[in-house]
Amino acid sequence: MHDLLVVGGGVMGGALAVGIGRAEGGPRSVAILDHSPEKARFVASRFPGGVAVDSMEPAKMYLLAVKPHHLRGVLTNLPPHSKAISVAAGVRLDQLQTWAPAGAQVIRAMPNTACEIGAGVIAISEVDDGGFLTATRELFGLVGKVFVVPEKQFDVVSALSGSGPAYVFLLLEAMQEAGLTLGLPASVALELARATVRGAALLADARGEDPRTLRLAVTSPGGMTAAAIAVFEELGLRHQTLEAVRAATARAQALADHAGE
């Protein structure tokens, strides 16, 4: 029996399998199942002891990283009394519990792809099921920072942190393009952007101060940073961010509404 069977070797499933498989003190046996055997073998090759399987083999815990419209079929094929974690966007906990086999325990989670390098953010639905919630927190604690949130907040949390890396990558794209447009080589502009975002995130984490305080500390009145911030404010960066997260939340809710169809 495997300690963990990851169903779905795509971007998220692969990131989780690799992160968990490489983590010190993690499960000793991590298996990957995907509709593409080649993809499963590739993911399994990226961490010590990874195993690619071609069927739903027995496991102590199942991590379901499939598309929302495939989730019902996967859940119904689990063995009775299984312990399963779904990371599918927009599929609510009550739906998961309805589709799961008799006696199964199911938890909803939303990680992000930084789990691959042990720097993820993972939200877990708040449930009262004793040991499985604790085991789930411990599993995801191997690859990032874990938050347990009420189900009613899950779509917003997913939109903020689950999709969040894409927002940062878009910022990196924009910073690189700005540097390129203003005369820097593309590679130099990208490395400057990467290092700046990385350093700012580490500093914010180390200081523990609110972002406004950190921003004002490097924004001298009348200086070059102030000139840039004024443009962001004028163009509505805060409003754009709010509307982007609102749109992602609405999409998660729409996915939940159609998940059983």
How far is the C-alpha of 130 from the C-alpha of 10, rounded, in Å?
A: 30
Residue of 20, 132, 24 lying closest to 32 (CA atoms): 20
In this structure, the number of other CB atoms found within 10 A of the CB of residue 12 comes to 23
Q: What is the pLDDT of residues 43-94, one digit of tens each?
A: 999 999 899 999 999 999 999 999 888 888 999 989 989 999 999 888 888 8
C-beta separation of 6 from 16 below 8 A: yes
Each residue's pLDDT tens digit, 173-201:
999 999 999 999 999 999 999 999 999 99
What is d(CA 17, CA 7) in angstroms, rounded to the nearest whole number? 10
pLDDT in tens, 155-175: 899 899 999 999 999 999 999
Residue type at 116?
E
pTM for the structure as a whole: 0.86
What domains, with CATH codes, occur in the chain?
4-154 (3.40.50.720), 164-254 (1.10.3730.10)
